Amino acid sequence: MPIPVRQAVRVGTYVFKNKLRRREKFPLIVELEPLFACNLECPGCGKIQYPTEVLRKRVSVDEAVGAMEECGAPMVSIAGGEPLLHPQIDEMVDELIKRKKFVYLCTNAVLLRRKIDKFKPSPYFSFVVHVDGLQERHDLAVARDGVFDEVVEAVGEAKDKGFRVTTNSTFFSTDSPEDVRSVLDFLNDDLEVDSMMISPGYAYEKAPDQEHFLPVEQTKNLFRDAFSEGKRKKWRLNHTPLFLDFLEGKVDYECTAWGIPSYSVFGWQRPCYLMSDGYTETYQELIDTTDWDSYGRGRDPRCENCMAHCGYEPTAVFATMKSLRESIRAAVGTN
């Protein structure tokens, strides 16, 4: 778990303080979507299915900063859409870093080399590049030839310029354990990214492809097989050990979607960035007016096959901090 020590200490202190204040629900990281427009048409996403008037909307720098200050989360993942299409994305990142927020800027890398000089390396900043497989598999996932090659070039340039680079890989029912291992081996050993995130695909309502998302048991089997032979310990995975245990089916958790809320051009999204059951103007309103007990496996049929990090990584983090053994296990992987 190659999470920087500075970040691990900051998040740990933040959680401890909230527990002391007896704050029952609080965010760990915000999924900030400053726009839904994108330069790719990935069949597993579908954000660009929104009408034109929505795709033209942008979250302003002041709105983004205000949302982060109101909720108090120490980390923010800027996604979309393609954030590099936002005309003020560099200003947004700068303002969040000034407030010592740990910023993960997600990108498909198509524009990264063209825009990279707008940003400065910082211990509070990381590019997160979307990589769903090796060349043929990734280009198929993003529905455009040549994108994988651009990813490789862009990651190399970002690393050369001193940026921290993380990758995010989503796996579907068409992926085998060998596919998972091959892409993680490549990212870890050949591309030498700083850390990697993984997730089973979730069936977004607007995603054109609704056939290849992983059900729960298949997800567990996929990651259990992929993690065999000690591979899991080798890879620089940016997850708590307990979340990886969860993906393998070694432990089970309740969803805590309020731990990774989503903020977009519509406001705070209820209950998470995977489901759209309405929006609120503030994070506190999201917490107070959402019936959290109505979501999760066994409660809402839309949640039955979900093992996404937005619902279960926060639970794993809280479980880690409740256990001295798990806290030590997690700390071993920091750098």
In this predicted model, what pLDDT tens digit does every residue of 231-264 receive, in sequence order? 888 899 999 999 999 999 999 999 999 999 999 9
Please report the pLDDT score of residue 295 as a whole number: 93
Count up the domains in the chain and report the number. 1
Q: Name the residue among 109, 43, 50, 107 with its Cα closest to residue 79.
A: 107
Please report the pLDDT score of residue 167 as a whole number: 98
d(CA 284, CA 205) in angstroms, rounded, equals 26
Q: What is the dihedral of CA 131, 134, 140, 146, to 10 degrees?
A: 90
Predicted structure pTM score: 0.93
Low-confidence ranges of the chain (pLDDT < 50): 1, 207, 209-210, 335
Whether the bond between 81 and the residue before it is cis, its omega within 30 degrees of 0, is yes
The SS3 assignment for 52 reads: helix
Please report the pLDDT score of residue 283 as a whole number: 96
Please report the pLDDT score of residue 1 as a whole number: 46
Please report the pLDDT score of residue 4 as a whole number: 82
| Residue 178, number of CB atoms within 10 A of its CB | 10
Query: 90-130, pLDDT tens digit by residue?
Result: 999 999 999 999 999 999 999 999 999 999 999 999 999 99
Burial of 211 (0-12, 13-18, 19+ CB in 10 A): exposed
Please report the pLDDT score of residue 260 as a whole number: 96
Domain CATH number, residue 326:
3.20.20.70
Please report the pLDDT score of residue 154 as a whole number: 98
Structure tokens at 266: 């519509």
Side by side, the strands of the sheet bearing 262-264 are 195-200, 164-171, 125-130, 102-107, 75-78, 29-33, 262-264, 267-272, 275-280
Domain housing 183: 5-331
Please report the pLDDT score of residue 2 as a whole number: 66
d(CA 319, CA 11) in angstroms, rounded, equals 14
